[in-house]
Chain A
Amino acid sequence: MESVKKIDSLLKKYFEGETDLREEAQLKKYFSSDLVDSKHKQYTPLFSYFSNNEKEQLSNAIKLPKAKSQRFKWMSIAASFALMASVYVGYSIKQENEIKDAFSQTQMALDFLSGNMNKGNQAFAQLDKFKQTTEIIYNQKNK
Protein backbone atom coordinates (compact mmCIF):
# COMPACT_ATOMS: atom_id res chain seq x y z
CA MET A 1 0.00 0.00 0.00
CA GLU A 2 1.05 3.47 -0.82
CA SER A 3 2.15 5.77 2.00
CA VAL A 4 -0.11 8.57 3.13
CA LYS A 5 2.24 11.09 1.56
CA LYS A 6 2.02 9.33 -1.76
CA ILE A 7 -1.74 9.34 -1.59
CA ASP A 8 -1.70 13.05 -0.78
CA SER A 9 0.30 13.83 -3.91
CA LEU A 10 -1.90 11.56 -6.00
CA LEU A 11 -5.02 13.24 -4.72
CA LYS A 12 -3.58 16.67 -5.49
CA LYS A 13 -2.84 15.51 -9.01
CA TYR A 14 -6.37 14.01 -9.31
CA PHE A 15 -8.11 17.22 -8.38
CA GLU A 16 -5.97 19.02 -10.95
CA GLY A 17 -7.16 16.50 -13.53
CA GLU A 18 -3.68 15.31 -14.20
CA THR A 19 -3.81 11.71 -13.08
CA ASP A 20 -3.46 8.98 -15.61
CA LEU A 21 -5.54 5.79 -15.56
CA ARG A 22 -2.99 3.83 -13.60
CA GLU A 23 -2.83 6.46 -10.87
CA GLU A 24 -6.60 6.62 -10.69
CA ALA A 25 -6.67 2.87 -10.32
CA GLN A 26 -4.26 3.18 -7.45
CA LEU A 27 -6.49 5.73 -5.76
CA LYS A 28 -9.50 3.56 -6.26
CA LYS A 29 -7.75 0.59 -4.79
CA TYR A 30 -6.64 2.63 -1.77
CA PHE A 31 -10.10 4.00 -1.10
CA SER A 32 -11.77 0.63 -1.36
CA SER A 33 -9.43 -0.83 1.18
CA ASP A 34 -9.75 -0.70 4.98
CA LEU A 35 -6.60 1.32 5.43
CA VAL A 36 -7.96 4.72 4.45
CA ASP A 37 -6.33 7.43 6.54
CA SER A 38 -8.58 9.63 8.62
CA LYS A 39 -7.77 12.77 6.67
CA HIS A 40 -8.60 10.99 3.41
CA LYS A 41 -11.83 9.55 4.65
CA GLN A 42 -13.84 12.48 3.29
CA TYR A 43 -12.87 11.48 -0.23
CA THR A 44 -13.95 7.86 0.01
CA PRO A 45 -17.44 8.37 -1.37
CA LEU A 46 -15.89 10.07 -4.40
CA PHE A 47 -13.96 7.01 -5.36
CA SER A 48 -16.52 4.43 -4.38
CA TYR A 49 -19.15 6.35 -6.28
CA PHE A 50 -17.05 6.31 -9.34
CA SER A 51 -16.31 2.63 -9.03
CA ASN A 52 -19.99 1.92 -8.68
CA ASN A 53 -20.70 4.03 -11.69
CA GLU A 54 -18.43 1.86 -13.74
CA LYS A 55 -20.25 -1.24 -12.60
CA GLU A 56 -23.59 0.25 -13.61
CA GLN A 57 -25.45 -1.87 -16.14
CA LEU A 58 -28.18 -0.70 -18.45
CA SER A 59 -31.15 -2.15 -16.66
CA ASN A 60 -33.43 0.52 -18.03
CA ALA A 61 -33.71 -1.12 -21.39
CA ILE A 62 -35.92 -3.88 -19.98
CA LYS A 63 -38.67 -1.50 -18.85
CA LEU A 64 -39.78 -0.45 -22.33
CA PRO A 65 -41.14 -3.73 -23.69
CA LYS A 66 -42.96 -4.32 -20.38
CA ALA A 67 -45.36 -1.43 -21.05
CA LYS A 68 -46.40 -3.07 -24.34
CA SER A 69 -46.91 -6.52 -22.82
CA GLN A 70 -49.07 -4.98 -20.08
CA ARG A 71 -51.52 -3.71 -22.70
CA PHE A 72 -51.56 -7.04 -24.46
CA LYS A 73 -52.23 -8.80 -21.18
CA TRP A 74 -55.34 -6.67 -20.49
CA MET A 75 -56.60 -7.18 -24.01
CA SER A 76 -56.30 -10.91 -23.79
CA ILE A 77 -58.10 -10.93 -20.43
CA ALA A 78 -60.92 -8.84 -21.90
CA ALA A 79 -61.05 -11.12 -24.93
CA SER A 80 -61.30 -14.24 -22.82
CA PHE A 81 -64.15 -12.72 -20.80
CA ALA A 82 -65.98 -11.88 -24.03
CA LEU A 83 -65.44 -15.43 -25.23
CA MET A 84 -66.74 -16.91 -21.98
CA ALA A 85 -69.81 -14.65 -22.11
CA SER A 86 -70.60 -15.66 -25.70
CA VAL A 87 -70.17 -19.36 -24.91
CA TYR A 88 -72.52 -18.96 -21.93
CA VAL A 89 -75.13 -17.14 -24.02
CA GLY A 90 -74.82 -19.71 -26.80
CA TYR A 91 -75.26 -22.53 -24.32
CA SER A 92 -78.26 -20.81 -22.70
CA ILE A 93 -79.95 -20.38 -26.07
CA LYS A 94 -79.26 -24.02 -26.92
CA GLN A 95 -80.69 -25.15 -23.61
CA GLU A 96 -83.76 -22.95 -24.06
CA ASN A 97 -84.42 -24.49 -27.47
CA GLU A 98 -84.02 -27.97 -26.07
CA ILE A 99 -86.57 -27.17 -23.38
CA LYS A 100 -88.98 -25.79 -25.97
CA ASP A 101 -88.58 -28.94 -28.06
CA ALA A 102 -89.19 -31.18 -25.08
CA PHE A 103 -92.26 -29.13 -24.20
CA SER A 104 -93.87 -29.47 -27.64
CA GLN A 105 -93.08 -33.20 -27.73
CA THR A 106 -94.63 -33.63 -24.30
CA GLN A 107 -97.65 -31.60 -25.32
CA MET A 108 -98.19 -33.81 -28.38
CA ALA A 109 -97.82 -37.00 -26.36
CA LEU A 110 -100.27 -35.78 -23.72
CA ASP A 111 -102.77 -34.74 -26.39
CA PHE A 112 -102.50 -38.16 -28.01
CA LEU A 113 -103.06 -39.89 -24.68
CA SER A 114 -105.89 -37.57 -23.76
CA GLY A 115 -107.57 -38.00 -27.13
CA ASN A 116 -107.43 -41.77 -26.81
CA MET A 117 -108.84 -41.63 -23.30
CA ASN A 118 -111.77 -39.63 -24.62
CA LYS A 119 -112.36 -41.85 -27.62
CA GLY A 120 -115.39 -43.39 -26.04
CA ASN A 121 -117.07 -40.03 -25.59
CA GLN A 122 -118.35 -39.63 -29.12
CA ALA A 123 -119.85 -43.09 -28.95
CA PHE A 124 -121.55 -42.16 -25.71
CA ALA A 125 -122.73 -38.93 -27.24
CA GLN A 126 -124.46 -40.91 -29.95
CA LEU A 127 -125.86 -43.17 -27.27
CA ASP A 128 -127.22 -40.18 -25.45
CA LYS A 129 -129.02 -39.05 -28.59
CA PHE A 130 -130.42 -42.54 -29.03
CA LYS A 131 -131.65 -42.47 -25.47
CA GLN A 132 -133.39 -39.15 -26.00
CA THR A 133 -135.04 -40.36 -29.16
CA THR A 134 -136.35 -43.55 -27.57
CA GLU A 135 -137.65 -41.64 -24.58
CA ILE A 136 -139.70 -39.40 -26.80
CA ILE A 137 -141.16 -42.31 -28.72
CA TYR A 138 -141.85 -44.25 -25.57
CA ASN A 139 -143.48 -41.32 -23.86
CA GLN A 140 -145.59 -40.59 -26.89
CA LYS A 141 -146.70 -44.15 -27.08
CA ASN A 142 -147.82 -44.11 -23.50
CA LYS A 143 -149.88 -41.00 -23.83
Chain B
Amino acid sequence: MLFLAAPFLSQAQDAFDKFEDIDEVTTVVVSKSMFKLMSSFNSDTDPETQEYMEMIKTIDGLRVYITDNQDIAREMKEVATKYIKSSKLTELMRVTDKDANVKIYVKQGRDEDHVKELLMFVSDKEDKQTVLMSLMGDIDLNKVALLTEKMNLPTGGNIEIQ
Protein backbone atom coordinates (compact mmCIF):
# COMPACT_ATOMS: atom_id res chain seq x y z
CA MET B 1 0.00 0.00 0.00
CA LEU B 2 2.78 2.39 0.87
CA PHE B 3 4.41 1.73 -2.48
CA LEU B 4 1.29 2.90 -4.26
CA ALA B 5 0.96 5.96 -2.06
CA ALA B 6 4.51 7.18 -2.61
CA PRO B 7 4.16 8.61 -6.15
CA PHE B 8 0.84 10.14 -5.08
CA LEU B 9 2.50 12.06 -2.27
CA SER B 10 4.92 13.83 -4.57
CA GLN B 11 2.25 14.77 -7.07
CA ALA B 12 2.24 18.45 -6.18
CA GLN B 13 5.81 18.72 -7.30
CA ASP B 14 5.22 16.94 -10.62
CA ALA B 15 1.92 18.53 -11.62
CA PHE B 16 3.25 22.07 -11.82
CA ASP B 17 6.83 21.30 -12.82
CA LYS B 18 6.21 22.13 -16.45
CA PHE B 19 5.55 25.79 -15.64
CA GLU B 20 9.01 26.24 -14.25
CA ASP B 21 10.75 26.20 -17.61
CA ILE B 22 8.47 28.68 -19.33
CA ASP B 23 10.08 32.10 -19.77
CA GLU B 24 7.04 34.15 -18.85
CA VAL B 25 6.66 32.29 -15.58
CA THR B 26 8.58 33.34 -12.49
CA THR B 27 9.18 30.30 -10.35
CA VAL B 28 10.24 30.03 -6.74
CA VAL B 29 10.94 26.59 -5.35
CA VAL B 30 12.24 26.04 -1.84
CA SER B 31 13.08 22.43 -1.11
CA LYS B 32 12.74 20.41 2.07
CA SER B 33 16.47 20.39 2.59
CA MET B 34 16.59 24.17 2.28
CA PHE B 35 13.85 24.45 4.90
CA LYS B 36 15.93 22.26 7.17
CA LEU B 37 18.96 24.49 6.63
CA MET B 38 16.92 27.60 7.30
CA SER B 39 15.48 26.35 10.54
CA SER B 40 18.91 25.54 11.90
CA PHE B 41 20.32 28.88 10.76
CA ASN B 42 18.82 30.78 13.68
CA SER B 43 20.94 33.90 14.08
CA ASP B 44 18.35 36.67 14.34
CA THR B 45 16.64 37.21 17.65
CA ASP B 46 14.04 39.88 16.86
CA PRO B 47 10.52 38.60 17.58
CA GLU B 48 9.20 39.22 14.09
CA THR B 49 11.82 37.07 12.42
CA GLN B 50 11.28 34.49 15.14
CA GLU B 51 7.67 34.15 14.05
CA TYR B 52 8.74 33.30 10.55
CA MET B 53 11.38 30.92 11.85
CA GLU B 54 8.77 29.05 13.87
CA MET B 55 6.60 28.81 10.76
CA ILE B 56 9.50 27.61 8.63
CA LYS B 57 10.10 24.72 10.99
CA THR B 58 6.67 23.35 10.04
CA ILE B 59 7.07 23.63 6.28
CA ASP B 60 8.46 20.91 4.02
CA GLY B 61 8.17 22.63 0.69
CA LEU B 62 7.16 25.85 -1.03
CA ARG B 63 6.40 26.46 -4.69
CA VAL B 64 5.31 29.70 -6.29
CA TYR B 65 4.49 30.29 -9.96
CA ILE B 66 3.79 33.80 -11.21
CA THR B 67 2.81 34.90 -14.69
CA ASP B 68 1.40 37.90 -16.58
CA ASN B 69 0.56 35.84 -19.61
CA GLN B 70 -3.16 35.16 -19.85
CA ASP B 71 -2.83 31.94 -21.84
CA ILE B 72 -0.43 30.45 -19.35
CA ALA B 73 -2.67 31.68 -16.54
CA ARG B 74 -5.55 29.79 -18.07
CA GLU B 75 -3.49 26.63 -18.28
CA MET B 76 -2.33 27.06 -14.70
CA LYS B 77 -5.96 27.27 -13.62
CA GLU B 78 -6.76 24.07 -15.51
CA VAL B 79 -3.84 22.18 -14.02
CA ALA B 80 -4.68 23.51 -10.56
CA THR B 81 -8.33 22.48 -10.86
CA LYS B 82 -7.33 18.99 -11.97
CA TYR B 83 -4.84 18.70 -9.18
CA ILE B 84 -7.32 19.88 -6.55
CA LYS B 85 -9.73 17.21 -7.71
CA SER B 86 -7.21 14.36 -7.82
CA SER B 87 -5.64 15.27 -4.48
CA LYS B 88 -9.05 15.81 -2.91
CA LEU B 89 -8.23 19.25 -1.58
CA THR B 90 -11.08 21.17 -0.01
CA GLU B 91 -11.84 24.83 -0.38
CA LEU B 92 -10.81 26.75 2.70
CA MET B 93 -11.96 30.15 1.56
CA ARG B 94 -12.34 32.45 -1.39
CA VAL B 95 -12.33 36.19 -1.55
CA THR B 96 -13.34 38.34 -4.47
CA ASP B 97 -12.97 42.07 -4.46
CA LYS B 98 -12.32 44.75 -7.02
CA ASP B 99 -8.63 43.92 -7.05
CA ALA B 100 -8.50 40.17 -7.25
CA ASN B 101 -9.91 36.68 -7.00
CA VAL B 102 -8.36 34.59 -4.30
CA LYS B 103 -9.02 30.91 -3.76
CA ILE B 104 -7.39 28.81 -1.08
CA TYR B 105 -7.60 25.02 -0.94
CA VAL B 106 -6.29 22.76 1.77
CA LYS B 107 -5.78 19.18 2.81
CA GLN B 108 -6.50 18.73 6.47
CA GLY B 109 -3.66 17.75 8.77
CA ARG B 110 -3.50 16.33 12.26
CA ASP B 111 -6.25 18.56 13.63
CA GLU B 112 -8.58 21.38 12.70
CA ASP B 113 -5.86 23.99 12.96
CA HIS B 114 -3.34 22.19 10.85
CA VAL B 115 -3.12 21.43 7.18
CA LYS B 116 -0.81 19.04 5.38
CA GLU B 117 -1.08 20.97 2.17
CA LEU B 118 -2.24 24.36 0.98
CA LEU B 119 -2.87 25.61 -2.52
CA MET B 120 -3.59 29.25 -3.26
CA PHE B 121 -4.68 30.62 -6.61
CA VAL B 122 -4.77 34.39 -7.08
CA SER B 123 -5.90 36.28 -10.14
CA ASP B 124 -5.14 39.95 -9.90
CA LYS B 125 -7.56 41.87 -12.06
CA GLU B 126 -5.63 45.12 -12.05
CA ASP B 127 -2.10 43.92 -12.85
CA LYS B 128 -3.38 40.95 -14.80
CA GLN B 129 -1.08 38.80 -12.72
CA THR B 130 -1.72 35.22 -11.72
CA VAL B 131 -0.11 33.54 -8.73
CA LEU B 132 -0.16 29.86 -7.89
CA MET B 133 1.30 28.89 -4.54
CA SER B 134 1.74 25.47 -3.01
CA LEU B 135 2.78 24.79 0.57
CA MET B 136 3.38 21.45 2.19
CA GLY B 137 4.12 20.40 5.72
CA ASP B 138 2.41 20.56 9.09
CA ILE B 139 1.05 24.08 8.81
CA ASP B 140 -0.94 25.91 11.45
CA LEU B 141 -3.42 28.14 9.61
CA ASN B 142 -3.96 30.38 12.60
CA LYS B 143 -0.27 31.11 12.80
CA VAL B 144 -0.13 31.93 9.10
CA ALA B 145 -3.01 34.38 9.45
CA LEU B 146 -1.33 35.94 12.48
CA LEU B 147 1.74 36.85 10.45
CA THR B 148 -0.08 39.78 8.88
CA GLU B 149 -3.07 40.20 11.13
CA LYS B 150 -1.56 43.22 12.86
CA MET B 151 -1.78 45.04 9.56
CA ASN B 152 -5.50 44.41 9.31
CA LEU B 153 -6.76 45.91 12.54
CA PRO B 154 -10.20 47.36 11.97
CA THR B 155 -9.65 51.07 12.39
CA GLY B 156 -12.37 52.06 10.01
CA GLY B 157 -9.83 53.78 7.81
CA ASN B 158 -8.66 52.59 4.45
CA ILE B 159 -5.90 50.07 4.93
CA GLU B 160 -4.14 48.71 1.91
CA ILE B 161 -3.96 44.97 2.09
CA GLN B 162 -1.27 43.57 -0.17
Binding site for B on A (CB under 8 A): 95-96, 98-99, 102-103, 105-107, 109-126, 128-129
Contact B156 A125 (CB under 8 A): yes
CB-CB under 8 A for A116 and B162, given A106-B56, A111-B147:
yes
The yes or no answer to B102 lying at the interface (CB within 8 A) is: yes
| Those of B30-63 within 8 Å (CB) of chain A | 30, 34-35, 37-38, 41, 52, 55-56, 59, 62
How far does the alpha carbon of A99 sit from the alpha carbon of B40 in the complex, in Å? 10
Measured CB to CB, the closest approach of chain B to A114, in angstroms, equals: 4
Contact B161 A115 (CB under 8 A): yes
How far does the alpha carbon of A110 sit from the alpha carbon of B118 in the complex, in Å? 12
CB-CB under 8 A for A124 and B162, given A113-B118, A116-B120:
no
Residues of B within 8 A of A118 (CB): 145, 148-149, 151-152, 161
Summed over the interface, the residue pairs from A and B with CB atoms below 8 Å come to a total of 100
How far does the alpha carbon of A112 sit from the alpha carbon of B52 in the complex, in Å? 13
Contact A106 B52 (CB under 8 A): yes
The yes or no answer to B144 lying at the interface (CB within 8 A) is: yes
Measured CB to CB, the closest approach of chain A to B98, in angstroms, equals: 12
Chain B interfacial residues counted at CB < 8 A:
40
Binding site for A on B (CB under 8 A): 28, 30, 34-35, 37-38, 41, 52, 55-56, 59, 62, 64, 93, 95, 97, 102, 104, 118, 120, 122, 131, 133, 135, 141, 144-149, 151-156, 159, 161-162
How far does the alpha carbon of A124 sit from the alpha carbon of B155 in the complex, in Å? 11
10 A-B pairs with least C-beta separation: A125-B154, A115-B162, A114-B148, A114-B147, A121-B152, A119-B95, A118-B152, A116-B102, A115-B148, A117-B145
Measured CB to CB, the closest approach of chain B to A65, in angstroms, equals: 51
Task: Given contacts A103-B56, A105-B30, A110-B147, list 5 more A-B pairs with CB under 8 A.
Answer: A109-B133, A112-B133, A114-B145, A118-B151, A122-B159
Measured CB to CB, the closest approach of chain B to A21, in angstroms, equals: 86
Measured CB to CB, the closest approach of chain B to A130, in angstroms, equals: 11
Residues of B within 8 A of A116 (CB): 95, 102, 104, 120, 122, 162
Residues of B within 8 A of A120 (CB): 93, 95
Residues of A within 8 A of B141 (CB): 117
A-B contact pairs, 24 of them (CB 8 A): A95-B37, A102-B34, A102-B37, A103-B56, A105-B30, A106-B35, A109-B64, A110-B144, A112-B162, A113-B120, A114-B149, A115-B148, A116-B95, A117-B141, A117-B144, A118-B145, A118-B149, A118-B161, A119-B95, A119-B162, A122-B152, A125-B156, A128-B154, A129-B156
How far does the alpha carbon of A121 sit from the alpha carbon of B148 in the complex, in Å? 11
Residues of B within 8 A of A124 (CB): 154
